[in-house]
């Protein structure tokens, strides 16, 4: 995806969704995947380089993360406070995760806290 000179790429192996501008990483969402109770992406941290704050990069990352999940027919169970708030403001783009999925995501994060 490219928007306003920003390219967004998914590095599934590393669990990082990156925004790049001019070859430089200017923002990212760190996430992990779940297989059960259903396939899901679980964003746990969003970060934007200080020089690029206020440019809409975090919102673009969240929007594209949800769009990618929809294309792949997987749910999103956000644990990252930013993505949770973004999803609340954009319910048409960010379907809410089931209570069971949200609980599974929290359990996985607590069980393996150093993985992400």
Q: Whole-angstrom Cα distance, residue 102 to residue 52?
A: 31
Q: Answer whether 5's CB lies under 8 Å from 19's CB.
A: no
pLDDT at 2: 41
Structure tokens at 37: 């109770």
In tens, the pLDDT along 87-106 reads: 999 999 999 999 999 999 99
User: Does the predicted model carry a pTM greater than 0.85?
Assistant: yes
Per-residue pLDDT of 29-72, as tens digits, reads 999 999 999 999 999 999 999 999 999 999 999 999 999 999 99
* DSSP H stretches of helix in the chain: 57-72, 81-89, 99-111
């Amino acid at each position: 995806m490219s928007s306003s000179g920003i390219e967004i790429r998914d590095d599934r192996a590393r669990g990082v969704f990156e925004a790049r501008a001019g070859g430089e990483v200017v923002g990212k969402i760190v996430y992990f995947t779940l297989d059960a109770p259903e396939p899901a992406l679980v964003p746990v941290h969003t970060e934007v380089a200080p020089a690029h704050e206020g440019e809409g990069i975090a919102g673009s990352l969240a929007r594209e993360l949800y769009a990618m999940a929809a294309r792949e027919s997987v749910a999103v169970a956000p644990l990252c406070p930013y993505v949770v708030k973004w999803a609340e403001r954009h319910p048409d783009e960010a379907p809410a995760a089931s209570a069971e999925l949200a609980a599974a995501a929290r359990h996985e994060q607590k069980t393996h806290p150093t993985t992400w």
